[in-house]
Amino acid sequence: MTPFTYARADAPDAAVRLGEGGARFLGGGTNLIDLMRERVEAPGALVDVSGLSQAIEETAEGSLLIGAGVRNTALAEHGLVRTRYPLVTRAIVAGASAQIRNMATVGGNLMQRTRCTYFYDVEGSRCNKRSPGEGCDARGGFNRIHAILGASEACVATHPSDLCVALAALDAVVHVEGAGGARTIPFGNFHLLPGETPDRETALEPGELIKAVELPPLPIAAHSRYRKVRDRASYAFALISVAAALRVEGGKVAEVRLALGGVAHRPWRAHAAEAALVGAPASEASFLAAADAELVGAVPLRDNAFKIELARRTIAAVLSDLSEAGA
């Protein structure tokens, strides 16, 4: 690692000031320290923000406001999250290991970077995300874990988070603070598609701090699931994942939320599938048709065509589960 300074922030505005000066925020460190050791990242200053905002509070409007410093385990085990938003708990416990979940913060989870192996290989590979304009070795290389939706000529990486797939389905809201003051960002606008600038991954401005993530009240979220398909039963990133909530009335889909992980540069909210589902019979045939409506634009790379069929089947399986469990 290249040398850096370390300081702990005692208040958000102090952190923002240091961030403005070029310091990087440090949560649990489970992603940033690794990337620094691999020399993908080399910040000259770290400001530890893990001690800020560790509260989970219910607002007067019935939202749940989750401080950016809340550890992933603390979020997963919170009573209101387990009962009102079980897909959030399920998504978290499907990720990483217990040790990593004890360290990782909510803010860091949103900001974690891709696991594309070429992105990590500073010495040997070209990567537009690491060095803009250099080229992308994944596009013609080993790309089994890469994107099938929303990719660009410049970058075919996926966003690795499980939690973020659940947050996308819930229309969470990200509360941030920067030099220009505080603002909120709808979750659907938070992560970006790669386009021409895969080095830009989120809507955050340089130095802007995530203060909290808000889960809006959403009764159907109490009937929700998260399913992750991976190469081993535990402690592996998703090949495909599906977060869903469903309400069926008189045999027809009355309300549905659906998001996919492992398919794109950002957690993928499946709007096309949702639109196809509302009012349709709650049957496997409609679930598969909705999956097809979402995946019609999928573009496979050399090694990842299997993801299209896997996503299709996993979407149908999760929706069938929810519908059978009495949506």
Partner 1 sequence: MALIVNGIEAPPPADPRVSLLDFLREHLHLTGTKVGCNQGACGACTVIVDGRRVLSCLTLAVQADGASVTTIEGLGTPTALHPLQAAFVEHDGLQCGYCTPGQICSAVAMVEELRRGVPSNVTADVAAQAIAATREELRERMSGNLCRCGAHNGIIAAIEDAFGLETAA
Ligand X SMILES: Cc1cc2nc3c(=O)[nH]c(=O)nc-3n(C[C@H](O)[C@H](O)[C@H](O)COP(=O)(O)OP(=O)(O)OC[C@H]3O[C@@H](n4cnc5c(N)ncnc54)[C@H](O)[C@@H]3O)c2cc1C
Closer residue to ligand X, CB minimum distance, 242 or 277: 242
Part in contact with ligand X (CB under 6 A); list of ranges 93-101, 130-138, 180-188, 282-290: 93-101
Chain Cα centroid distance, residue 87: 13
Residue labelled with tokens 């102090």: 14
209 binds ligand X (CB under 6 A): yes
**What does 259 interact with, of ligand X, partner 1, ligand SF4, none (CB < 5 to 8 A by kind)?**
none
Virtual CA dihedral for 241, 247, 253, 255, nearest 10 degrees?
A: -80
Restricting to residues 29-48, name those near ligand X by CB under 6 A: 29-32, 34
Please select the residue that binds ligand X; options are 9, 18, 28, 322, rule is CB under 6 A: 28
Is residue 111 near ligand SF4 by the rule CB under 6 A? no
Check binding of 114 to ligand SF4 (CB under 6 A). Answer: yes
The H-assigned helical ranges of the chain are: 12-20, 32-37, 72-77, 79-84, 86-93, 98-103, 106-111, 117-120, 163-169, 187-190, 271-277, 284-295, 306-324
Q: Which is nearer to ligand SF4, 6 or 306 (CB)?
A: 306
Kindly report the number of other CB atoms within 10 A of residue 288's CB atom.
16
* Other Cβ atoms closer than 10 A to 319: 29
Which string of x and - marks every residue 177-216 that binds ligand SF4 (by CB under 6 A)?
---------------------x------------------
Q: Which is nearer to ligand SF4, 7 or 40 (CB)?
A: 40
**89 makes contact with ligand X (CB under 6 A):** no
> By C-beta, is 201 or 214 nearer to ligand SF4?
201
Q: Would you count residue 137 as binding ligand SF4 (CB under 6 A)?
A: yes
Which residues in 265-281 are b (16+ Cβ under 10 Å) and which e? bbbbbbebbbebbeeee
- Integer angstrom CA distances of residue 280 from 63, 244, 249, 274, 277: 30, 16, 11, 10, 5
- Residue 294 binding ligand SF4, by CB under 6 A: no
